Amino acid sequence: MNRPARIAAVTTGLMGAGAVCGAVTGIWSLGLVMSISGPLAIDVLLVFGGMVGAALGAIAAPILGWSLLRRVPFGRMLAVCSAGTAIGAVVGSITTPHPRGFVASGLAGAAIGCIVAAINLWYRARQLDWRA
């Protein structure tokens, strides 16, 4: 397999894995927030949380994988960034003072959580490279 085909295959794999992890993270975090804050509407949970999470995960995973987290194993990258995203989304949604800002603050918290988790992974990978 030549280099461009390999790059395309890895990028496609990152997009697929990011979409799956994003959908699971979106459904989980939105379900947790909705169960804490009010009635749980399963259709909103599955459609909105899953679709938005999948779209954002499919975008974020290749960008982070090719730029910031090149030295981090894919499984660790997906697990830690998904956990950071879920924690950020829940904290962002719960700490919103106004009910209309529920979605926007949840998405902002998710983005901040993912970026913080990615920077933490990058820093740890850099420390391991430095020692070697």
Q: Where are the domains of the chain?
A: 3-131
> What's the whole-number mean pLDDT along residues 27-46?
79
Between the two ends of the chain, the Cα-to-Cα distance in Å is 30
Note the pLDDT of residue 132: 53
> Helix H segments across the chain?
3-37, 42-44, 50-66, 74-94, 102-131
Distance CA 110, CA 3 (A): 34
Axis-axis angle for helices 3-37, 50-66 (nearest 10)? 140
Q: Which residue, chain included where needed, has tokens 């950020």?
A: 88
Could you read off the pLDDT of 69-95 as tens digits, one per residue? 888 999 999 999 999 999 999 999 888
Q: What is the pTM of this model?
A: 0.87
Note the pLDDT of residue 130: 66
Evaluate if residue 58 carries a pLDDT over 70. Answer: yes
